[in-house]
Amino acid sequence: MSSLSWTGETIEEQVKKAIETAIPESHAEVFSNGNHFEISVVSSAFEGKKLLDKQRLVYSAITPFMSGPDAPIHAVDRLKTATPS
């Protein structure tokens, strides 16, 4: 996981960037308390999608941060997905 943290950005900033890169027209807010995270994402890409599909989009973007023995994200305690409207 060290390859993700060498950029000088916080893990929260890296996670935010990963989500906003992976999900078109999105805005993410990422907070953590150690290795437990709360994530909120607003995107028009969520239009017409079921909750589980929205969550899958977010989790696919942050998988590298949840993989391996030294993963910085142990748990996502709250994941909120919404459309701009």
- pLDDT tens readout for residues 16-45: 999 999 999 999 999 999 899 999 999 999
pLDDT band, very low/low/confident/very high, at 3 (cuts 50, 70, 90)? very low
- CATH architecture, domain 2-12+28-82: 2-Layer Sandwich (3.30)
- The secondary element (H helix, E strand) that includes residue 38 is strand 36-43
Domain ranges of the chain: 2-12+28-82
Alpha-carbon span 64 to 84, nearest angstrom? 27
Alpha-carbon span 80 to 8, nearest angstrom? 27
